[in-house]
Amino acid sequence: MALLKILNNKAKTDENSGFGTNANSYGGRFVNKNGTANIEKRGMNLLRRISWYHTMIDMPNWKFMFILFSFYIVINFIFAVLYYAIGIEHLDGIAQSQSVLTQFGQAYFFSAQTFTTVGYGHISPTGFLTSALSAAEALIGLLSFAIATGLFFGRFSKPTAFLKFSHNALISPYKEQKALMIRVVPFKNTNFTDAKAKITLGMSVEENGARTNKFYTLDLELDRINALSLSWTLVHAITEESPLYNFTEDDFKKTHGEILVFITTFDDMFSNTVAARTSYTFNEIIYGAKFETMYNRSKDGTKTILYLDKLNQYHTTNFS
């Protein structure tokens, strides 16, 4: 029944969504909550289908640091093994009377000194093979630190939209009717101007006996604001022109659909346009609820206080 309501109303489909129309070829949601496409690529060698630069730039900080420290430990261990295999007697400064574990440990720390080009001078290589190995390690160390420096700079300088979306979308009372509402807020000390929003509804429907994906652009009360300093509630009024017109709470539960949210804004710190996106499946939509106010005036009346921890807070309400 919900599908017939969609197909027979005045809503116009969006042919430029960028997503395929064959519903049988799609699994799960179109866009993950973090804004990435819910797609796994196969059919090509892993080293060719993955950009290691983008992977290192986008991964969480803890994982990035873990990889750097792991690489540092492992590469020095490998060189320590090579030094030990050539012969510990070719490392001048290591006493032959010491235990094997102590000798290997000193070879490891000599490798760390060579890799970082610190060179304290307590241990030095003798012989052609050991000297050649230490020279090669020094070069690898210089190149590795150059790459690590570039990755650090790329991670810190990458234009990022520091925006958070509410965990749920709401169907709320709005001007004697209903509206779809989604809230977004800047959560760092950034200045966003000229913010633009677009919301697309994607649904899997039956058309001519076959399942197909249909996409609709949802008109917003405000799709553009001059400054994004406080919270911004994106409001789509559910009128007769809306594909969600006459949708009941039960229809949302039975219909497979997803709300795709796209926001672009200018960050004057980066002096660049940044973008953020997320999505809400129909089971992430709360029917009959309103967002709590996120900000109010300070006690002394000199500032506006924005409570970031209230981003997802709402209360239930009835439709009149």
Above 50 in pLDDT, residue 304? Answer: yes
Q: What are phi and psi of 248, to 5 degrees?
A: -100, 170
Residues whose CB is less than 8 angstroms from the CB of residue 262 and which lie 6 or more positions away in sequence, other chains included: 197, 198, 199, 200, 275, 276, 277
pLDDT tens digits for range 234-285: 999 998 888 888 888 888 888 888 999 999 999 988 889 999 999 999 999 9
What is the rounded CA–CA span in Å between residue 247 and residue 2?
7
Closest CA to 278 of 193, 160, 163, 158: 163
What is the rounded CA–CA span in Å between residue 21 and residue 152?
40
Closest CA to 5 of 250, 251, 239, 177: 251
pLDDT tens digits for range 265-277: 999 888 899 999 9
Above 50 in pLDDT, residue 2? Answer: no
pLDDT tens digits for range 17-26: 666 666 556 6
Interior/surface letters 260-284, b for 16+ CB within 10 angstroms, e for the rest: bbbbbbbbeeeeeebebbbbbbbeb
What is the rounded CA–CA span in Å between residue 231 and residue 311?
8
